């Protein structure tokens, strides 16, 4: 769970009511709205907050808009989200302040909007926002611990001491890694670039440049001895380096499509370039109408071969045509409004001249009829031109039409860019290994195209269980731990590299949850005691209708309830790789599932079983009725 404070627009600092528009926005799309320390519903909140604001008119920004967001892997209920919001506000010091809490589910990640009145309704004292991000992050960590949710990554590390949770700054190594990422152009895509993308339909320029081109251009710009070398390198891809306000931008020659020069890397920014090669010099070879290179895979591209595949007129023309059509419609609508305004103004002046201020009933009726006709004409024109404006967002741009997964790619563009750079540079770029990185890898796995390098048997098994097993791109597998509500509590990573036999599976996230692999409606169910055995079983039984469940010790009450609901009505078998493995867990399962059979593994080692490609039938399990220390197993019919 993460918290965000929406900044106040400057124009609304002291003018009008700062609460009405915010409350209307958060309530319009909400599935649940809760008013706190207010009388009535959210419809009455604006007037009450405005009245309380009058107790302290010196506060310029009395409204605070806070968002609490959960990752896509979590499925909290509306009540849990509202409870979490109340707890966060209590830790924030706003327990007795007026607020409206709205639950939104209009995005992949569930989130809560909080419109808070900073002015106390009784004392009139303003709630301080000093270090609001740090205080909100500490409150989120405390709520996650209290609610049993996984701890998310934040700006600070968490220290669990005798006095409770505290935040500690990240180590210097973390910030050095961030600086290295900025050198490689791996900073987050700026908000302005994403907003321009939504308005124009053009993708962010850095997303079009493939990793090879980015590396090639960065090397040329950072190693250039004078400005002409930089311009020559950019011209190869029909780009140019231009000044923009206090900095510089890299733009496409055929349009205003561009990005900040520092997005390619901090060493490519104007300040760094001028310190290295002197004051900026314009490109003497200016040809804005030049076409992009038609075949970027030709040998003349050298290290950047086969990299730039879509920066061509084929991409730009349909987007430009759509843009021009929108601008033409906007100009026509604006001209129609101007003509209607002029015609109505002329008619009003003529009627005023004829009536000469007469107040007779007939004159008043004539004015009323004229005003109603003018009003009707304006409404009709407004309805006809509704939605037409110069910056209308394209409903489908060229890339979205060609790739249905483009929305997901844009959502995870920064993670995909990091993975692509790492692949090109041979693993130089490394990120933090935690629950957040595992979650990002899980969702970006279907969007990555690089070869996993796994044997065909494993690739086929993974492809058959795409929602249960995914490749992380660095020689490992991710298996999610699922809760009963459908959320993911964490992940287990299995290393399949050369050192896999020495590396134990690593778990990210909060303890708990069950690993589920296979058909959810299968009649047979196999319960195993570790993730490696679950994966091995999925490979060996990939062609059979069976649901494989991996449990871990200890089994908490929530897992027990989830396990009983999954095994109800199924032919259930509990398997173990040895007679003495985890007797406590086996005994717990025997008591929890008295009708299940207890069996032992057929002696195949997990590492050997992964390499086998033949299908194994039900005879690979044998009963332990005379060997297990658990209760008497049920005999097969």
- Crossing angle of helices 557-567 and 583-592, in 10° steps, is 60
Q: Do residues 162 and 188 both lie within one domain?
A: no
Q: What pLDDT does 148 receive? A: 83
Q: Is residue 416 part of a domain?
A: no
Backbone phi, psi, residue 546, to 5°:
-145, 140
Q: Do residues 164 and 188 both lie within one domain?
A: no
Q: What pLDDT does 498 receive? A: 59
Whichever domain contains 571, its CATH number is 3.40.1360.10
**Cβ neighbourhood burial of 557 (10 Å; 0-12, 13-18, 19+):** exposed
Q: Do residues 155 and 94 both lie within one domain?
A: yes
Distance of CA 528 to the CA centre of its chain: 33
Put residue 603 in one of left, alpha, beta given phi > 0 → left and psi -120 to 50 → alpha.
Answer: left
Q: Is residue 631 part of a domain?
A: no
Rounded Cα distance between 149 and 490, Å, is 10
Q: Is residue 634 part of a domain?
A: no
Q: Is residue 422 part of a domain?
A: no
Q: Do residues 11 and 67 both lie within one domain?
A: yes
Q: What pLDDT does 461 receive? A: 79
Q: Do residues 486 and 587 both lie within one domain?
A: yes
Rounded Cα distance between 438 and 431, Å, is 11
Structural domain for 579, as ranges: 447-623
Q: What pLDDT does 302 receive? A: 41
Q: Is residue 424 part of a domain?
A: no
Could you list the mean pLDDT of each consecutive 10-residue stretch along the chain, which spans 637 residues? Answer: 85 66 92 94 92 91 94 91 96 95 92 96 93 93 89 88 86 88 84 78 79 88 92 88 91 78 91 93 68 40 40 55 77 89 92 88 90 92 72 44 63 83 65 83 80 72 87 84 88 76 74 88 89 87 88 86 90 75 76 83 42 33 34 39
Rounded Cα distance between 134 and 145, Å, is 17
Q: What pLDDT does 295 receive? A: 39
Q: Is residue 364 part of a domain?
A: yes
Q: Do residues 247 and 161 both lie within one domain?
A: no
Distance of CA 337 to the CA centre of its chain: 41
Boundary-marking domain end, from 255, 279, 311: 311
Q: What pLDDT does 580 receive? A: 55
Rounded Cα distance between 303 and 101, Å, is 54
Q: Do residues 101 and 166 both lie within one domain?
A: yes
Residues near 294 by beta carbon (within 8 Å), at least 6 away in sequence: 312
Q: Do residues 93 and 229 both lie within one domain?
A: no
Q: Is residue 440 part of a domain?
A: no
How many beta carbons lie within 10 A of that of residue 303, not counting itself? 11
Put residue 408 in one of left, alpha, beta given phi > 0 → left and psi -120 to 50 → alpha.
Answer: alpha
Q: Do residues 346 and 255 both lie within one domain?
A: no
Boundary-marking domain end, from 311, 343, 361: 311
Boundary-marking domain end, from 105, 135, 170: 170
Q: Do residues 164 and 208 both lie within one domain?
A: no
Distance of CA 447 to the CA centre of its chain: 14
Q: For residues 145-171, b (16+ Cβ closer than 10 Å) or e, as one string? A: eeeebbbbebebebeeeeeebeeeeee
Whichever domain contains 50, its CATH number is 3.30.930
Q: What pLDDT does 593 receive? A: 87
Q: Is residue 40 part of a domain?
A: yes
Count of domains forming the chain: 4
Q: Do residues 473 and 577 both lie within one domain?
A: yes
Q: Do residues 117 and 159 both lie within one domain?
A: yes
């Amino acid at each position: 769970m993460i918290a965000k404070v929406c900044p106040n627009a400057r124009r609304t600092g002291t003018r009008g009511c700062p609460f009405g528009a915010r409350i209307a926005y958060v309530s319009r799309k909400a599935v649940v709205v809760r008013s706190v320390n207010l009388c009535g519903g959210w419809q009455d909140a604006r007037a009450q907050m405005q009245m309380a604001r009058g107790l302290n008119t010196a506060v310029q920004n009395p409204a605070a808009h806070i968002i609490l967001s959960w990752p896509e892997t979590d499925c909290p209920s509306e009540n849990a989200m509202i409870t979490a919001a109340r707890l966060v506000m209590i830790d924030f010091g706003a327990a007795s302040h007026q607020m409206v809490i709205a639950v939104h589910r209009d995005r992949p990640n569930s989130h809560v909007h909080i419109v808070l009145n900073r002015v106390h309704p009784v004392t009139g004292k303003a709630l301080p926002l000093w270090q609001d991000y740090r205080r909100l992050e500490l409150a989120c960590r405390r709520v996650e611990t209290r609610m049993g949710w996984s701890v998310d990554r934040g700006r600070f590390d968490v220290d669990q001491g005798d006095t409770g949770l505290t935040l500690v700054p990240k180590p210097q190594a973390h910030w050095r890694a961030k600086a290295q990422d900025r050198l490689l152009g791996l900073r987050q895509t700026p908000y302005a670039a994403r907003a321009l993308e939504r308005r124009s339909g053009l993708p962010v320029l850095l997303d079009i440049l493939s990793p090879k081109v980015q590396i090639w251009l960065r090397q040329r710009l950072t190693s250039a001895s004078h400005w002409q070398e930089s311009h020559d390198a950019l011209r190869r891809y029909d780009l140019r380096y231009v000044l923009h306000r206090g900095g510089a931008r890299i733009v496409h020659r055929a349009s205003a499509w561009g990005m900040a020069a520092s997005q390619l890397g901090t060493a490519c920014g104007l300040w760094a370039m001028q310190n290295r090669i002197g004051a900026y010099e314009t490109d003497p070879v200016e040809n804005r109408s030049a076409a992009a290179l038609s075949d970027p895979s030709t040998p003349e591209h050298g290290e950047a071969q086969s990299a730039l595949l879509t920066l061509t007129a084929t991409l730009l023309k349909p987007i430009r045509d759509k843009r021009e059509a929108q601008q033409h419609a906007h100009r026509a609508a604006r001209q129609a409004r101007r003509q209607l305004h002029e015609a109505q103004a002329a008619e009003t002046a003529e009627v005023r001249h004829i009536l000469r201020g007469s107040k007779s009933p007939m004159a008043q009726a004539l004015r009323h009829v004229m005003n109603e006709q003018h009003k009707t004409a304006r409404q009709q024109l407004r309805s006809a031109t509704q939605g037409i404006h110069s910056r209308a967002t394209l409903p489908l741009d060229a890339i979205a039409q060609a790739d249905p997964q483009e929305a997901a790619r844009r959502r995870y563009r920064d993670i995909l860019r990091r993975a692509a750079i790492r692949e090109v540079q041979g693993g130089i770029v490394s990120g933090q290994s935690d629950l957040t990185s595992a979650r990002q890898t899980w969702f970006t796995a279907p969007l990555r195209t690089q070869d996993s390098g796994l044997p065909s048997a494993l690739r086929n098994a993974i492809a058959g269980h795409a929602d249960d097993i995914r490749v992380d791109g660095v020689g490992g597998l991710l298996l999610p731990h699922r809760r009963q509500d459908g959320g993911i509590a964490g992940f287990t990573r299995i290393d399949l590299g050369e050192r896999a036999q020495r590396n134990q599976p690593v778990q990210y996230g909060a303890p708990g949850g069950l690993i589920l692999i296979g058909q959810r409606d299968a009649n047979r169910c196999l319960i195993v005691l570790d993730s490696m055995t679950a994966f091995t079983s999925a490979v060996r039984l990939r062609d059979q209708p069976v649901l494989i469940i991996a449990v871990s010790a200890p089994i908490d009450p929530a897992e027990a309830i989830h396990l009983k609901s999954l095994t109800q009505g199924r032919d259930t078998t509990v398997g173990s790789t040895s007679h003495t493995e985890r007797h406590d867990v086996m005994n717990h399962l025997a008591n929890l599932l008295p009708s299940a059979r207890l069996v032992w593994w057929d002696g195949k080692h997990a590492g050997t079983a992964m390499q086998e490609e033949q299908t194994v039938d039900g005879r690979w399990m044998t009963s332990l009725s005379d060997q297990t220390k658990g209760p008497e197993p049920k005999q097969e019919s």
